[in-house]
Amino acid sequence: MISKEIRQKYLEFFKARGHEIIPPAPLVLAEDPTTLFTSSGMQPLVPYLLGEAHPSGQRRLVDSQPSLRLGDIEEVGDNRHTTFFEMLGNWSLGDYFKAEQLPWFLEFLTKELGLAKEKLWVSVFEGDKTTGVPRDEESLAAWQKLGIPKERIFFYGVKKNWWSRSGEPALMPVGEIGGPDSEIFYEFADVPHDPKFGETCHPNCDCGRFLEIGNSVFIQYQKQADGSLKELSQKNVDFGGGLERLVAAASDNPDIFQTDLFLPIIKRLENLSGRNYLQDPETTRAMRTIADHLRAAVMIARDGVLSSNKAQGYVLRRLLRRLLLFTKKLGLEASGDYFLGLISILAESYGDIFPDLEEKKAEIATSFREEADRFDEVLKSGIKEINKVPMIDAKTAFYLFESFGLPFEITEEIAREKGQTIKKEDFQKEVEKHQKLSRQGAESLFKGGLADQSYEVTRLHTATHLLHEALRRVLGDHVRQEGSNITAERLRFDFSHSAKLSVEELKNIEDLVNEQIAKNLIVTETVQDLSAALASGARAFFREKYPERVKIYSIGPSFSREICGGPHVASTKELGRFRIIKEEAVAQGVRRIKAVLENGGQKIF
């Protein structure tokens, strides 16, 4: 069975059980100051898991969410890890619970995908003394009733059977939601257990015999300031299953790169290089990495990101440079045709869900080719840099990686030529040191946002709507939002406009925004059908795919109307004074404004 069929069957299965099919959120999050990419299906749904009514008016939802997780990037190359994946998800927003969810998913696996029940193993939460969350007897009973024998039910603690965006309870920031979960694993009977991973095999063993294919999270807790967990006002189900893995299970082939999602890419790499995918471990690893990184890079570029040194652009660059490295290893040249050929395969296989790829593929191929040129330059200057140091150690390797984007593999190779060795573990330690520092940064950001957006971000968000409208009124109707990013300190707004803004234009824009602020305009929220909202002239971000029912925020009776998830302040009085601090170009035909709010206004509610 192929991926398209499985995706469709899943959506229809849950639709038949009262779920509304919702469009996925974009992969690249332009408006979220805390996260670069959507990394799970529940991420866009947090407000509704917390109790807010979903704009569709429904409490049962289902979708397929393109997601990106970079934590496993180093694992890519084995037969099951990817950075980009599609997460099939279904949710109960305080509606059904374990007694419905577990039988439904099992039925989907056995009846719709035809998986043999004997090959399915499950895991259940064993309970946790620290937080007092009890052992999940209800799920255990449900699985037994469904005919899963005791021998195939395993209990694990918070490290394996607890889910939140930040992991186990101790790592959850205040306000974050999560809960115990129950996972299903598919057993590849032909894969023998590898004792390297432990004496006995079990569902969470990493030897490759078991593959996790679905996770039902029972989101019912919220982290409190005193470290405890409080029951939410509603008990939710958050199910997620990786489409790629479900396809592998349905084909009873543990190598997800041999499913229809990747095979055409692998075949093309075989043709170009004259090598066989399975001829030796190095070739297999190179082809898998190229296939994964290419797909992830294309999905990021599809949302309008270009490689750069910051944020999403940096991730794209990193994926592309790794891809280029493995391309070299296969003896291939990363020409424009190389990229176009590969991207065309993706445009075709994703034609039904991402039809825009066909139109964008040539432009994406050109931008990848440009990155390949820059990378060649980097290699040259990085190599020059290496030649300056007498001894290459892990610190130097990390410096070259951070500052020049020089992959470890290259530095290692040059060191080897000079008769020196650098240990990958030492390099890895340097990377971890750095990651720890940036994680600390991310955590402090996290506290301000997401589940409960900080007041500063909310104020700047409302100011962004005023700016968007003011730009159109001053510069003209051609102005379209190209991106937006808000931190507690400033807003940043990218928009289409071909010329540098004059001092006078900037002043007119600033004045127009400040006039609205001075009028103490009330901000109101309504819910409407998307078509009606667009027909009434509400502003929309053209890159975003909206659901059928949307929220519209209006500022004043007629100044600004924009489709948006919120939140916003209650009145413009809360904004204080708006000041533009920078205007610059970010790309051909795209300008960027950074602005701040001064003299903090007053919170009304």
Nearer to ligand SER, 179 or 576 (CB): 179
Closest to 114 measured CA to CA, from 242, 241, 250, 254: 250
For residues 227 and 230, what is the distance between their CA atoms, to the nearest angstrom?
10
What's CA 534's distance to the chain center, in Å?
27
Total length of the chain: 605
Q: Residue 478 in contact with residue 517, Cβ under 8 Å?
A: no
For residues 250 and 212, what is the distance between their CA atoms, to the nearest angstrom?
13
φ/ψ (deg, to 5) at 33: -70, -10
Nearer to ligand SER, 92 or 396 (CB): 92
Does residue 451 sit in helix, strand or coil? coil
Query: What residues numbered 523-552 form the site for ligand SER, per CB under 6 A?
Result: none
In whole angstroms, how close is the CB of 330 to ligand SER at the nearest point? 33
In whole angstroms, how close is the CB of 294 to ligand SER at the nearest point? 23
Q: Is 242 in the site for ligand SER (CB under 6 A)?
A: no
Q: Residue 80 in contact with residue 245, Cβ under 8 Å?
A: yes
Helix axes 356-388, 281-302, angle to 10 degrees: 120
Contact code string over 73-112 relative to ligand SER, x by CB under 6 A: ----------------x-----------------------
**R_g of the chain, CA atoms, integer Å:** 25
For residues 502 and 88, what is the distance between their CA atoms, to the nearest angstrom?
48
Cα-based angle 251, 254, 256 (whole degrees, multiple of 5): 80
Q: Is 316 in the site for ligand SER (CB under 6 A)?
A: no
For residues 398 and 380, what is the distance between their CA atoms, to the nearest angstrom?
17
Q: Is 368 in the site for ligand SER (CB under 6 A)?
A: no
From 37-45, 105-113, 500-508, 533-541, give the range in contact with ligand SER by CB under 6 A: 37-45
Q: For ligand SER, which residue of 34, 40, 481, 560 counts as binding (CB under 6 A)?
A: 40
Q: Is 41 in the site for ligand SER (CB under 6 A)?
A: yes
Pairing status of strand 577-587 against strand 590-598: antiparallel
Q: Is 240 in the site for ligand SER (CB under 6 A)?
A: yes
Q: For ligand SER, which residue of 22, 29, 42, 364 counts as binding (CB under 6 A)?
A: 42
Q: For ligand SER, which residue of 84, 85, 239, 446 counts as binding (CB under 6 A)?
A: 239
Nearer to ligand SER, 240 or 407 (CB): 240
From 234-242, 263-271, 401-409, 536-544, give the range in contact with ligand SER by CB under 6 A: 234-242
Contact code string over 193-232 relative to ligand SER, x by CB under 6 A: ----------------------x-x---------------
Q: Kindly state the number of chain residues that form the binding site for ligand SER, as judged by CB under 6 A.
A: 10
In whole angstroms, how close is the CB of 531 to ligand SER at the nearest point? 30
In this structure, the number of other CB atoms found within 10 A of the CB of residue 117 comes to 12
| Tokens found for residue 441 | 């940064």
Residue nearest to ligand SER (CB): 240
From 40-48, 370-378, 402-410, 580-588, give the range in contact with ligand SER by CB under 6 A: 40-48
Nearer to ligand SER, 238 or 469 (CB): 238
CB burial readout 542-580, b (16+ within 10 A) else e: ebbebbebbbbbbbbeebbbbbbbebbbebbbbbbebeb
Phi/psi region, residue 18 (left: phi>0; alpha: psi -120 to 50; beta: rest), is: left
From 112-120, 193-201, 223-231, 236-244, give the range in contact with ligand SER by CB under 6 A: 236-244
Q: Residue 296 in contact with residue 319, Cβ under 8 Å?
A: yes
Q: Is 163 in the site for ligand SER (CB under 6 A)?
A: yes
In whole angstroms, how close is the CB of 182 to ligand SER at the nearest point? 11
In whole angstroms, how close is the CB of 265 to ligand SER at the nearest point? 25
Binding site for ligand SER (CB under 6 A): 40-42, 89, 163, 215, 217, 238-240
